[in-house]
Amino acid sequence: MKNKTVAAWLAFLGGPLGLHRFYLHGASDLLGWLLPIPTALGVYGIERVQQLGQDDHYSWVLIPLLGFTIAGCALQAILFALKTPEAWNARYNPGAAPDAAPGQTQWITVGAIVVALMVGTAVLMASIAFSFQRYFEYQIEEARKISQ
């Protein structure tokens, strides 16, 4: 029996590593194995900024990958938590009754919604702001080079 609350928290806390996919679909899930790739690339972008500074062009491409992955997993957590018990049990617990306990929404499930919404939104906005800021700064630098 797959629990909706556990899946929501796994999607939020361990989503960038694919933990929610492994919980719901097993160790053979391809997307679960692919999710750590943009996460690792984003972490690598953060390391490049620390080593090479903010003028590194690859970092402003890599860092938003981490942010978008975290935001996407937070959205997945919200979608899991908002699923009706009938829809949850029909999809992930097909042998159970439509109103079985693993598909029920509890207070801790609502907590996952709230935390995922706050953190996911903040990370998404920060990723968009960072990538656009670096892009426009790069465009200004290139325009200055052309005008000189």
Domain limits for position 142: 4-147
Residue 52 to residues 38, 96, 101, 116, 134, Cα–Cα distance (Å) = 20, 54, 52, 32, 15
Tell me the per-residue pLDDT of 27-54, one tens digit each, with 9 for 90 and over.
999 999 999 999 999 999 999 988 987 7
Q: How many domains does the chain fold into?
A: 1
CB 77 within 8 A of CB 116: yes
SS3 assignment for the chain: CCCHHHHHHHHHHHHHHCHHHHHHHCCCCHHHHHCHHHHHHHHHHHHHHHHHCCCCCCHHHHHHHHHHHHHHHHHHHHHHHHCCHHHHHHHHCCCCCCCCHHHCCCHHHHHHHHHHHHHHHHHHHHHHHHHHHHHHHHHHHHHHHHHC
Q: What is the pLDDT of residue 75?
A: 95
Give the global pTM: 0.85
Tell me the per-residue pLDDT of 52-65, one tens digit each, with 9 for 90 and over.
877 777 888 888 89
